[in-house]
Amino acid sequence: MRKLIVAGNWKMNTSVAEGVELAKKVSAYAVEKNLPEGKQIVIAPPFTHLASVAQVIDSNKVILAAQDCAATKNGAYTGEVSASMLKGIGVKAVILGHSERRQYFKENSEILLKKIKLALEEGLDVIFCVGETKDQREAGANLYFNVIKAQLVDTVFTLSEQDFAKIIIAYEPVWAIGTGLTATPEQAQEIHEFIRKEVANNYSQKVADDTTILYGGSCKSSNAKEIFAKKDVDGGLIGGAALKADEFGKIIDAR
């Protein structure tokens, strides 16, 4: 079912103690607001924080997500954390395909599809990020539409309809992430509409109507309302602005 989601990607920020405090505040906010069914708050702390955060949030009100998972099930993969390990400590979702993972850790569609499948096997929801770089945006609409389409076709569009129902798509223009440059509401809507059409072409209009598509990239309380008001924008994936409970709360209220 199509949902309204505001998700916080904490990246590699906060100590465990700070993260636990932040999670407590977000959870208290969600409880106080008594959000309607269909409106969800997600937080994605670093791996080291997940078990502690799981203990302090109301899991009926806040969905705990990881920022990554391994592309293999288990075994001799030093440093990796598997989807089943995450599930075992109360994680319900995972962010995959974030541009920082693609850029700094060379994660391509082949690797990402392995991660997606393992996450789904464990029953985790997947927030799958797509988006074009600055150069690709400047090269014109033909190119950036194709870039985004390829990111979908090579990964989540290979899934069965049943599995695809567990995918939340996040459109995150790389040029807007952490830069202070936000896509205009019209730029966001253009891509969200395009993604929804591609979902309809690949599956069906019903699946497209049910797909949740988030916007991410320097989204904050001062611009969230305008962006979230667009008809194909179902909420946001928030980086920097998710690290302050008050600011994150205002963004939750914007939708």
Binding-site ranges for ligand PEP (CB under 6 A): 9, 172, 177-178, 216-219, 237-241
Q: How far is the CB of 106 from ligand PEP (least distance, A)?
A: 18
Rounded to the nearest 10 degrees, the angle between the axes of helix 16-33 and helix 245-253 is 30
d(CA 92, CA 66): 8
The three-class DSSP label of residue 39 is: strand
Handedness of CA 68, 71, 77, 81 (dihedral sign): positive
Q: How far is the CB of 28 from ligand PEP (least distance, A)?
A: 23
Catalytic residue among 132, 172, 198, 247: 172
| Structure tokens belonging to residue 137 | 């945006």
d(CA 250, CA 231): 20
Catalytic residue status for 18: no
Judged by beta carbon, residue 239 or residue 249, the one nearer ligand PEP is 239
Q: How far is the CB of 208 from ligand PEP (least distance, A)?
A: 23
Judged by beta carbon, residue 42 or residue 62, the one nearer ligand PEP is 42
- C-alpha distances (whole Å) from 166 to each of 86, 87, 160, 234 are 17, 15, 10, 15
Catalytic residue status for 98: yes
d(CA 188, CA 173): 9
Place of tokens 């989540």: 156
Judged by beta carbon, residue 9 or residue 155, the one nearer ligand PEP is 9
Catalytic residue among 98, 100, 190, 198: 98
Judged by beta carbon, residue 203 or residue 228, the one nearer ligand PEP is 228
Q: How far is the CB of 74 from ligand PEP (least distance, A)?
A: 28
- C-alpha distances (whole Å) from 161 to each of 2, 125, 127, 204, 206 are 14, 14, 16, 9, 11
Q: How far is the CB of 98 from ligand PEP (least distance, A)?
A: 6
Tally of CB atoms within 10 A around 160: 9
Judged by beta carbon, residue 19 or residue 216, the one nearer ligand PEP is 216
Q: How far is the CB of 203 from ligand PEP (least distance, A)?
A: 25
d(CA 84, CA 86): 5
Judged by beta carbon, residue 120 or residue 242, the one nearer ligand PEP is 242
Residue nearest ligand PEP (C-beta atom): 239
d(CA 118, CA 41): 23
Report, as residue numbers or ranges, the catalytic residues: 98, 172
